[in-house]
Amino acid sequence: MGTISWAQDTTMDSVTVQELDEVVLSDTRFPIRRENSGKTVIRIGPEELSLNQGRSLPELINNKSGIEISGSRGRAGEVLGAFVRGGRGRQLIVLIDGLRISDPSSFSQEFDLRLLPLDNIESIEIIKGANSTLYGANAATAVINIKTKGAPAEGISGTFRSSVGTNQTADDQKYQLNAFENSARIAGTHDRWEYALGFGHRYTDGISSIGTQTGESDPFSALNADLKLGYRFSESARTQLYASRAKFNVDYDESFGLVDAPYRFKSEQDRVGTQTTVEYQNGSTTLNLAYSSFSSENFSAFPGTFEGQNLIGDLFNRIRFGKVLLLTGLNYNLEEMEFEEARQFRFVDPYANLVYLGEKGWQVSAGGRLNMHSEYGSQWVYNLNPSYTLKRENGYLKFLGSFATSYITPSLTQLFGQFGANPDLGPESNQTLELGTEYTSGDKLRASAVYFSRREDDFVFFNNTTFQYQNAENTINARGVEVEIDWRPLDAITIEANYTFTEREGDPGIRIPKHKAFFSMGYEVNDSFNVAATYAYTGTRLDTDFNTFTQVQLDPFSLLGLNLRYVAIPDRLTFFLQADNLLNESFTEILGFNTRGRNVRTGFTLKL
């Protein structure tokens, strides 16, 4: 999405860029300095990813404000639920290298985060709120923009990672080695060519899916492979081809009645695509195109196979006129799934967004998108995002506001599937209001606070009485506050903290904690040794007892963690040690299912 020339072009803003200025991309699709952004974008860079080697992507993003990933604290491979700002998983979208990825064969058309290992990720940006103007349907609560690793600027490099650890509950502290992860990656640049090849394997065992069983375990295994090949025609034109394959197998138990069962779920995903960018004076044109196929099979009392594929294309142009940044584009999406016969829908979205970087502190981002859907006709979404920045000699104070609408389409399964389908379902609509402020003081402190209010209409739910998907007649409202602090009180000490208050009205809002907090303090002992302690609090929330279909309140819990990193050979060899749930607290994350107790993991990264 970003290019070297665009990153350099940010010096045209009102002040000279310093080395520590942070550039963000996702909230405008232009690389701009954080002080000019009208959002409080969460950015996870290479340093933070390095400190979390051995963890999964859901574990990492679960510690960010406004986000709850249920299942991330349980047995590896457990079904995940993504709840952002009181929303559901189908209301957020995942981008990989700038292009949306979704699974049309799933019940809610979500991308399964279990398919993507952390080792292949270079950086992550998370932008919360309704973002359908920039990213299309279903971008109602958040966009997770993942940039995968590419090639070095010159020469060839190899990276090898390996880790081993325990995988045990609080009641079964035997400290057996049941978690293994290995990856290898080779990348290089030669003349005009760039290439990267990666492979990864994950395996865990030792924990049963359901909490009532202690004598058997349900293992999880995953394989990943990816390939990138790029060619630069000139300084202003380049193209890239990529391919990836991901698959996993996971055993699980019967959730109705919570009894042991020899069930298994298999899933595979193949993806091929291309990205071509042509730059010109003050602008660039990019074409992203990807084809993905998904296949899964469920071995249980209700067996089934699920196959789907999609073709997604995004053609967009970015141009700068002085202080005005203009984005125009056309997005195409074809979703198809195999039932008794193949069913599909498609939509074509022209869109535009304008960013004004004022000279006296004002910034405004505004735009709209026309979603032309084969099932629902035309739907219009828009956004307005003004902000005002008071610049100081060594930082800034920023005030921001945003109002945006979003559009959520039912999945193919909800419309045409074999269980509870309803072809008369209508799309959901979403409105989000944000008000907030952000303060920075040089590279020492960044603090922000945001109030959000969301309104959901025509919410799609499964009616347990009629056994069919329906649109809710009532309106659902979610509101809350997110507070974030990044502070470096001393050169050797870093502190990260966040707190989220979330309130949802209109339905029970299961698995959404009203209060959630995270705190991390890192200490750089010397150039080679780094230690960090973490504390995570998850407050009370409701869950559903599927035996009685009644709501049960789950108790709050707190988890302590520890990370150690030692650089044995700079830029070559690094060792790490992690300890999670240090106090071995026994807690419930999902009613009836196991969670992890005290566990340790160690490993290394070798770069050649």
Q: State residue 418's pLDDT score.
A: 83
pLDDT per residue as tens digits for the range 297-343: 999 988 989 999 999 999 999 999 999 999 999 999 999 998 888 89
Which tokens in the block code for residue 318? 């970015």
Closest CA to 92 of 149, 38, 36, 132: 132
Q: State residue 309's pLDDT score.
A: 96
Q: State residue 40's pLDDT score.
A: 83
Q: Residue 124 burial (CB < 10 Å; 0-12/13-18/19+)?
A: buried
Q: State residue 3's pLDDT score.
A: 34
Residue ranges of the alpha helices (H) in 3-56? 4-9, 46-51
Other CB atoms within 10 A of residue 12 CB = 12
Instruction: Please give the Cα distance from 240 to 225 (Å, whole number).
Output: 17
Q: How far is CA 420 from the centre of its chain?
A: 29
Q: State residue 258's pLDDT score.
A: 82
Largest CA distance in the chain: 67
Can you list the residues of the chain whose pLDDT is less than 50? 1-20
Q: Which residues contact 56 (CB under 8 A, 6 or more apart)?
A: 72, 76, 113, 114, 117, 118
Q: Which residues contact 189 (CB under 8 A, 6 or more apart)?
A: 151, 152, 153, 154, 155, 156, 195
Q: Which residues contact 518 (CB under 8 A, 6 or more apart)?
A: 63, 64, 65, 496, 497, 498, 534, 535, 536, 537
Q: State residue 213's pLDDT score.
A: 56
Instruction: Please give the Cα distance from 230 to 86 (Å, whole number).
Output: 40
Q: Residue 144 burial (CB < 10 Å; 0-12/13-18/19+)?
A: buried
